[in-house]
Structure 1
Amino acid sequence: MNDGALTLVPVPEVFMTVSQEIRLLSDGVNDLQELIGNLVVAGAFGGSHSLYELQSLDRISQSLDAISDYLGGASKLSSPAWKIDVTEASRCVKLAEVSDRLNGIKREGASQDSAGDFDDFELTA
């Protein structure tokens, strides 16, 4: 276990937390879609095959939204008496910021828009 300390959370709350995390991913994909759309308009991508492949972003976004909606629905059908040790469940999550959000941990100075353990690379011209 996790050094004897259990962090038991009702399943409906866990489902809603995961649903919100998936919604963040969907929002990120939508932002990426908008950026790529601007690049397409600017002529950075050529050919219909590239445009067809870009539609996969839309499918990913729709799928993430659907999974988020499913978890929200499952949350409403779950018993609050059912509990999950979220600390133990999140031990395999490699991104600290995601793990913290799944555990309900709020850190000082943490950004919701941050990519977690991702380091920005300096852009060179």
Structure 2
Amino acid sequence: LIDYDLLFDRFVETIMASSFGGMIQSFLGGKEAIEPMRESFKEKMSKAFEEMLSKPEMQENITAILQSFDSKIISDKVEVMIDNRLDELTPEMVKKIIQEMIRKHLGWLVIWGGVFGGILGLIASFM
């Protein structure tokens, strides 16, 4: 969805930074004088976007852009990002990550290993 408030804010910033900004500041009191136009701006921009997006040329362009997203290209970019991140890891960081994973996800394995090991040791001591 389009954030028309953000568009209006940037529009006002552009006007205030232009040569008209000084006149608006001097004669109309600044940004506050433009604020009442927000709702009208949002309505008109919404209609303008609807008109632009309903044109067949625009729909063809959007379709072409969406079709140009190749899953191979995206997966290659993700692979490069992962490789870059892995290259940044030090052995100490890997050790901490693995220890944290073991504590978080394999804690039950340690507990049950101790229980079964104790039972097996008890059985072996009677033999």
The TM-score, its normalising length taken from structure 2, stands at 0.26
The structure with the largest helix share of the pair is 2
The structure with the largest strand share of the pair is 1
